[in-house]
Amino acid sequence: MQPLIEQIGVPAFGQLLRKRRKSLKLTQAQLAQIVNMRQATISKVENNPSKCEYDTLFRVCSALDERLGSAELKD
């Protein structure tokens, strides 16, 4: 199965992460604290995930309860 980021495209993937973060009522700063990253890194993940390391994407997706390889995303 093709990874989700390739299925839906990079910009849409970042938008899905942002939507999920907001649905959990988390700020970028709060999410950054959860995954032990800087707020600027969370912004980078949401705005340009293609420039992020897979480990970074995995940690953020895990914190948001999303799966990189699944098209079944929670709304």
The CATH number of residue 56's host domain is 1.10.260.40
Asked if residue 53 is part of any domain, the answer here is yes
Which domain range does residue 13 map to?
9-63
Asked if residue 3 is part of any domain, the answer here is no
Please give the pLDDT value at position 54: 83
Asked if residue 68 is part of any domain, the answer here is no
**What type of residue sits at position 38?**
R
Structure tokens at 23: 């649905």
Average pLDDT for residues 26-47, to the nearest whole number? Answer: 95
Cα-Cα-Cα-Cα torsion 26, 28, 9, 11, nearest 10 degrees, comes to: 120
Q: What mean pLDDT, rounded, does the chain reach?
A: 81
Asked if residue 74 is part of any domain, the answer here is no
> What pTM, to 2 d.p., does this model score?
0.76
Task: Flag whether pLDDT at 51 surpasses 70.
Answer: yes
